[in-house]
Amino acid sequence: MLNLDTHVLVAILNDGLTPREVELVLKSELAISGVVLWELAKLIQLGRLDLNLDSAQFRQCLRQVCTVPITLEIARASTRLDFTSDPADEIIAATSIVERIPLLTRDRRILKSRLVPLAK
């Protein structure tokens, strides 16, 4: 299973994955943190993302991923990371730590972490 960062999920929807990301995504079950849904809605609200959350394409995508809720354990883990970032990224990273799911991300701060299990 792979935990997808928000930007990777957007890349899936926009056919913007790198060849290596395509390879990883095709051979894995996919998960997202619940905060990814909030982050998508916020990016749309701010005009930084053009995506229809009610579209058939998006709904189909959601049916193919497991959404991991934010638990107390994940919230606590997000405060003990070896990097600082925006709260959504910290929760996404903590989700990978707690659930032991490698994270597929392009975020340089997260990629430098020694705590977050990363997709390889």
Q: Tens of pLDDT along 2-50? A: 999 999 999 999 999 999 999 999 999 999 999 999 999 999 999 999 9
Residue 28: the pLDDT is: 96
Topology of domain 2-111 in CATH is Rossmann fold (3.40.50)
Residue 32: the pLDDT is: 98
Mean pLDDT of 54-60: 94
CA distance linking residue 113 with residue 60, whole number of Å: 32
Q: Residue 51 CB: number of other CB atoms within 10 A? A: 16
Domain ranges of the chain: 2-111
Residue 44: the pLDDT is: 97
- What is the tens place of the pLDDT at every residue in 66-106? 999 999 999 999 999 999 999 999 999 999 999 999 999 99
CB 110 within 8 A of CB 93: yes
CA distance linking residue 50 with residue 40, whole number of Å: 10
Residue 53: the pLDDT is: 96
CA distance linking residue 113 with residue 89, whole number of Å: 12
Q: Whole-model pTM?
A: 0.95
C-alpha distances in Å from residue 21, one per residue of 66, 79, 92, 105, 119: 18, 28, 18, 9, 9
